[in-house]
Chain A
Amino acid sequence: SPVLWGGGWSILSMASQMLGAPQHEVSQKGAFCSRTEESQPHLSKTDLTARISFFVFLFPWFGLDIGGTLVKLVYFEPKDITAEEEEEEVENLKSIRKYLTSNVAYGSTGIRDVHLELKDLTLCGRKGNLHFIRFPTHDMPAFIQMGSEKHFSSLHTTLCATGGGAYKFEQDFRTMGDLQLCKLDELDCLIKGVLYIDSVGFNGHSECYYFENPTDAERCQKLPFNLENPYPLLLVNIGSGVSILAVYSKENYKRVTGTSLGGGTFFGLCCLLTGCSTFEEALEMASHGDSTKVDKLVRDIYGGDYERFGLPGWAVASSFGNMMSKEKRESVSKEDLAKATLITITNNIGSIARMCALNENINRVVFVGNFLRINTISMRLLAYALDYWSKGQLKALFLEHEGYFGAVGALLELLDSA
């Protein structure tokens, strides 16, 4: 569920690769601990573990993923609270629970994705519902402020957070909210979250799905996919930027590559090109546009297929390539531009993912991240492109909880460390 954190990490590995640093072969749990120690010299590892184990059974249970664009929050609402417990429950805790579970929107920008709620989940021996909440990262100060007003720190809980924002806002949490963040590795969290959610399923349905006949509007079907034996797996997380991971087992994965052309690029460019102001608006525009007016296709250049290399005429040869000409610039609509932006970003991610899959010899590619939220165009395009360019060798898979896996992972880390 780290919605939009991918980019930070993509770049990290890119940097380490460029600098010739050893590939970040991550199988380490506890990596976050050493990092936590580094940035909090006053807090020893045993202190931290002690704090966590002491408070772990104390509610509230949160997992936080602070990405470049969106903050993802998962909240476990216990449904098996005994009368005795209820009596002992402090007022603050109760009010937080009420506030979160009785609303579907928080402030002007916070949203609870009710349709994603996982019901009757058993976590650490407790039964309850898992809620999925998101809000823009630029509202983070208001969120911390709210925590402070609701005296969150008096609950003596530990807030587990991942994503770049865990670093960026750590200081604010401490000073404004009197809260100590437990910072967690985002890739660890992502994988943990994916594997967990897939294993518990989506309220009796399959978490994982794929598209059959993705380009055929009539025959296109969303079908469940059984991810029981998930390994090896290529995990493509499309947030603001993109990270691509090769996962060989629960503990063994590596970051293969990434690109800065991700969801943030789509949205950012759309804002510049069409004047839209929300992701939803951008997608809505895109759904009414025709990208072939904007993009230069193989057939625009070759008059048909480029047979020598097996490139079909409909393939994009140069994204936005038609916009070099004045007449064509004047004849396109904002919708066309939005669609072209979406197609460009999606195709690029698909093509990089395909090359990674080829290199790593992995044929299942799972796409996650909030770029895919309500974005059927991209999902179907990814499904089709992967199938077409790999001649049926690769399968594009998707998960219902798109952007929330990092936050779920953070919550699980909290409970695990108990």
Chain B
Amino acid sequence: MPNLDKWGISLNLSFIFFLLTGGSLTKLAYYSTVQHKVARVRSFDHSGKDIENEPLYEISVQEEITARLHFIKFENTYIETCLDFIKDHLVNTETKVIKATGGGAYKFKDLIEKKLGLKVDKEDVMTCLIKGCNFVLRNIPHEVFAYQKDSDTEFRFQTNHPNIFPYLLVNIGSGVSIVKVETEDKFEWIGGSSIGGGTFWGLGALLTKTKKFDELLQLASKGQHTNVDMLVKDVYGGAYQTLGLSGNLIASSFGKSTTADKGIGPSGTIQLQCFILWQGEVQALFLRHEGYLGAIGAFLKGAEQDNPNQYSWGENYAGSSGLMSTSPDVYPMQRTRSGTFDMLEMDRLERPLVNLPLLKDPSTYIPDTVDLTDDAMARKYWLTCFEEALDGVAKRAAASQPDSIDALQRAEKFRQKYWNKLQTLRQQPFAYGTLTVRSLLDTREHCLNEFNFPDPYSKVKQKENGIALKCFQSVIESLDSLGWEERQFALVKGLLAGNVFDWGAKAVSDVLESEPQFGFEEAKSKLQGRGSSAAVEGPPHKCALIFADNSGIDIILGVFPFVRELLSRGTEVILACNSGPALNDVTYSESLIVTERIAAMDPVIQSALREEKLLLVQTGSSSPCLDLSRLDKGLAVLVRERKTDLVIIEGMGRAIHTNYYAALKCESLKLAVIKNSWLADRLGGKIFSVIFKYEVPCK
């Protein structure tokens, strides 16, 4: 089986895992624990040491084990190879039963039992299918899309509605089943057809020289069905317009092949109609992971004692092969691969993710500002941008692990993988759902993680945090010396200046690389335009939720003075930082250390911490961007408890690439420095322009 050897290195199959064997394709779902490296920070015991010359905290890379769901699909012919693979990697010897569903579960039962020495427990295919469908609808954003023929954007992705029921599930396997799903447990089989994928494959194999499913699809995409099908215009001549119908509709499939002269060329290309026609007002929606539903469901059924439904899951872009286009000009190699071998990986997230309770309308909230699937110009720009930055990222990743012998090799592998993903996305922007700057950033993080670069910026962050902390007191002193109005202005300016320090932005990393002395004051002077003080004196807020961005100067000299001002006004503060590393963004664990150190210097912060007026939480995310519909449950609970009435979102990733248009129930402040000249141009400003968006919800 292709590519399977790669897994031998990094993962162990364990726990329960299940197999679905369908009529022609086998889909395997299994649960594995993946050992990967994570960066940890730990405070030193500084007592009696020379603090001046010591780093702020200790960085270590540790092995961590996380749960991952894998789904792969391949043609049935590979089943024995697959079983061998399972046997070799099956770690948990307590597994006695293997769950299987689909028609093949009956057919391959003996083979599986003999090969693996496990008992096959058959699950009902339809039940599994529906369970799987519910699971992906809940856990994968942009799972659902509508297909638009003859349109610039072939695929239009839908926001997941909080309430997924009721829906009609049309499962096209070897045959077709139609099921009405009303609730998690209530569903009804209402019909079906024997003319399905198997018919396409079977007939295709008979009529053409092509024998593989995927090659048939590829062949079909090149064919012209109108040579074979009798269209309305063939029956009606040119006069069909008077009847108000499209002449291109098929009147009789294959109706033309009876006339020998119009037959099929030697290459024998034939297009079979594979679309479902929904009539009336119903919209036909498709799922990105259609093929996996049964396997996911079988898995969920078997894993009931582990209750995977209680966790949240995230699609791992690095390990998933993505959606393929039907367009003929798409990479034939990728297409070929997808039919025989295709995979999806989902990471189990440590904690459940929920909506931010302050979202005005969760069902219409779309995190991303620009849909790159839609906007070809923006897409081209950003893909190029990510391509150009890639060498630097790979170099930095390698440099972050100077002691590792294979760092260079892994960095190169990372570079290759991400480069390939970018090329795939150039061809098929919709491969992983709606293409956005966020998905590009997240994919990069996933790829870095896959090659064991859990936190390439850890040392940079450590150093910058150390430097910034040393300046903290003088910044506070100078702020305190100002009058109220002046101080507000300086605070906002500081907040924005801090945000200039962003290694994720190429314009900035260039400056930072070439001018190591570049400091807070220089940053302030770079800011474009007039600052305008928005902090109007009024009744203080009850509680502010702040989503922090970068570590170092940003959080310490920008955010903390601001936090301190809010606290002195009597406003409680929830400071939310990322759960895992992304670029030089401050992580939750770093924020704990930084806060502790600041508290040691500053009585306001110290007492706020003690009285729980300043609360540090994690966002549940490891992305440089922010999806307010997938936040850590603890954060959501706290936001509700503390009656949060102000949300501050800082930074390009969180306030511009995402959430620029996010509507909240309470007052919000979105601020960022535009550190990208293309984006600045597009928004009508210059590089280092300031976005300062203060919104009050209409009553």
Q: CB distance B249 to A15 under 8 Å?
A: yes
Q: CB distance A167 to B236 under 8 Å?
A: yes
Interface window among B195-203, B404-412, B450-458, B687-695: B195-203
In the complex, what residues of A have CB within 8 A of residue B243's CB?
12, 167
Q: How far is the CA of A39 from the CA of B238 in the complex (A)?
A: 12
B107 close to A (CB within 8 Å):
yes
How many positions in chain A have a CB within 8 Å of any CB in the partner chain?
73
Q: CB distance A317 to B194 under 8 Å?
A: yes
Residues facing B in A229-247 (CB within 8 A) are 239-241
Interface window among A295-303, A393-401, A407-415: A295-303
Q: CB distance B239 to A170 under 8 Å?
A: yes
Q: How far is the CA of A164 from the CA of B255 in the complex (A)?
A: 14
Q: CB distance B236 to A8 under 8 Å?
A: yes
Residues facing A in B186-206 (CB within 8 A) are 189, 191-199, 201-203, 205-206
A273 close to B (CB within 8 Å):
yes
B389 close to A (CB within 8 Å):
no
Q: How far is the CA of A262 from the CA of B253 in the complex (A)?
A: 7
A326 close to B (CB within 8 Å):
yes
CB distance from B238 to the nearest CB of A (A): 8
CB distance from A275 to the nearest CB of B (A): 10
Interface window among A84-92, A219-227, A263-271: A263-271
Q: Residue on B with the closest CB to A240?
A: B252
Residues facing A in B238-267 (CB within 8 A) are 238-240, 242-246, 249-260, 263-264
B98 close to A (CB within 8 Å):
no
Q: How far is the CA of A303 from the CA of B108 in the complex (A)?
A: 11
Q: How far is the CA of A209 from the CA of B175 in the complex (A)?
A: 33
Q: CB distance A329 to B205 under 8 Å?
A: yes
Q: CB distance A348 to B239 under 8 Å?
A: no
**Which of A11, A12, A257, A326 has the most CB atoms of chain B within a 10 A radius of its CB?**
A11
In the complex, what residues of A have CB within 8 A of residue B256's CB?
268
Q: How far is the CA of A170 from the CA of B193 in the complex (A)?
A: 39
Tell me whether A324 and B249 are in contact in the complex, defined as CB-CB below 8 angstroms, given that A8-B236, A277-B260, A351-B191 are known contacts.
no
Per-residue interface assignment for chain A, residues 333 to 352, with 1 indicating a CB less than 8 Å from any chain B CB and 0 otherwise: 00001000000100110010
A406 close to B (CB within 8 Å):
no
Tell me whether A347 and B254 are in contact in the complex, defined as CB-CB below 8 angstroms, given that A167-B236, A320-B199 are known contacts.
no
B230 close to A (CB within 8 Å):
yes
Q: CB distance A273 to B207 under 8 Å?
A: yes
B637 close to A (CB within 8 Å):
no
In the complex, what residues of A have CB within 8 A of residue B229's CB?
260
In the complex, what residues of B have CB within 8 A of residue A11's CB?
232, 245, 249-251
**Which of B234, B255, B260, B280 has the most CB atoms of chain A within a 10 A radius of its CB?**
B255
B483 close to A (CB within 8 Å):
no
CB distance from B447 to the nearest CB of A (A): 36
A370 close to B (CB within 8 Å):
no
**Which of B23, B107, B189 has the most CB atoms of chain A within a 10 A radius of its CB?**
B23
Q: CB distance A241 to B175 under 8 Å?
A: no
Tell me whether A324 and B254 are in contact in the complex, defined as CB-CB below 8 angstroms, given that A7-B230, A273-B207, A316-B194 are known contacts.
no
CB distance from A306 to the nearest CB of B (A): 8
Q: How far is the CA of A257 from the CA of B258 in the complex (A)?
A: 25
Q: CB distance A68 to B230 under 8 Å?
A: yes
**CB contact between B196 and one of A14, A269, A318, A351 (< 8 Å): that residue:** A318
How many positions in chain B have a CB within 8 Å of any CB in the partner chain?
64
Tell me whether A10 and B239 are in contact in the complex, defined as CB-CB below 8 angstroms, given that A18-B279, A319-B198, A351-B191 are known contacts.
no
A280 close to B (CB within 8 Å):
no
In the complex, what residues of B have CB within 8 A of residue A315's CB?
194
In the complex, what residues of A have CB within 8 A of residue B207's CB?
272-273
Q: CB distance B230 to A318 under 8 Å?
A: no
A321 close to B (CB within 8 Å):
yes
In the complex, what residues of A have CB within 8 A of residue B104's CB?
301
A323 close to B (CB within 8 Å):
yes
Q: CB distance A138 to B259 under 8 Å?
A: yes
In the complex, what residues of B have CB within 8 A of residue A271's CB?
257-258, 260
Q: CB distance A241 to B23 under 8 Å?
A: no
Tell me whether A320 and B232 are in contact in the complex, defined as CB-CB below 8 angstroms, given that A11-B245, A241-B251, A257-B279 are known contacts.
no
Q: CB distance B277 to A301 under 8 Å?
A: no
B14 close to A (CB within 8 Å):
no
**CB contact between A264 and one of B203, B230, B240 (< 8 Å): that residue:** B230
**CB contact between A38 and one of B175, B236, B242 (< 8 Å): that residue:** B242
Q: How far is the CA of A257 from the CA of B279 in the complex (A)?
A: 9
Q: How far is the CA of A322 from the CA of B24 in the complex (A)?
A: 10
CB distance from B327 to the nearest CB of A (A): 23
In the complex, what residues of B have CB within 8 A of residue A272's CB?
207, 254, 257, 263-264
Q: CB distance B206 to A7 under 8 Å?
A: no
Per-residue interface assignment for chain B, residues 272 to 306, with 1 indicating a CB less than 8 Å from any chain A CB and 0 otherwise: 01000101110000000000000000000000000
B106 close to A (CB within 8 Å):
yes
In the complex, what residues of A have CB within 8 A of residue B236's CB?
8, 164-165, 167-168
In the complex, what residues of B have CB within 8 A of residue A239's CB?
252
Q: CB distance B211 to A302 under 8 Å?
A: no
**CB contact between B202 and one of A20, A138, A294 (< 8 Å): that residue:** A294
Tell me whether A240 and B194 are in contact in the complex, defined as CB-CB below 8 angstroms, given that A308-B126, A309-B126 are known contacts.
no
Q: CB distance A317 to B103 under 8 Å?
A: yes
Q: Residue on A with the closest CB to B255?
A: A264
Q: CB distance B279 to A321 under 8 Å?
A: no
Per-residue interface assignment for chain B, residues 373 to 403, with 1 indicating a CB less than 8 Å from any chain A CB and 0 otherwise: 0000000000000000000000000000000
A377 close to B (CB within 8 Å):
no
Q: CB distance A168 to B239 under 8 Å?
A: yes
A261 close to B (CB within 8 Å):
yes
In the complex, what residues of A have CB within 8 A of residue B252's CB?
4, 7, 68-69, 239-241, 260, 262-265, 268
A5 close to B (CB within 8 Å):
yes
Q: CB distance A319 to B199 under 8 Å?
A: yes
CB distance from A184 to the nearest CB of B (A): 13
B237 close to A (CB within 8 Å):
yes
Q: CB distance B255 to A324 under 8 Å?
A: no
B228 close to A (CB within 8 Å):
yes
Q: How far is the CA of A189 from the CA of B245 in the complex (A)?
A: 20
* With A7-B232, A351-B191 already in contact, 13 other A-B pairs whose C-beta atoms are closer than 8 Å: A11-B250, A39-B242, A272-B254, A296-B198, A308-B126, A318-B202, A319-B196, A321-B23, A321-B174, A321-B194, A324-B24, A337-B206, A344-B195
Listed in ascending order, the chain B residues whose CB lies under 8 Å from chain A are 23-24, 103-104, 106-107, 124, 126, 173-175, 189, 191-199, 201-203, 205-207, 211, 213, 228-230, 232, 234-240, 242-246, 249-260, 263-264, 273, 277, 279-281
17 pairs across A/B with beta carbons < 8 Å? A5-B235, A10-B251, A11-B249, A14-B279, A15-B244, A68-B252, A69-B258, A164-B232, A169-B237, A240-B255, A260-B255, A265-B254, A268-B255, A272-B264, A318-B23, A319-B202, A351-B191
Report, nearest first, the 9 A-B pairs whose CB atoms are least far apart: A168-B237, A301-B103, A323-B202, A264-B255, A320-B202, A264-B252, A318-B198, A7-B251, A268-B254
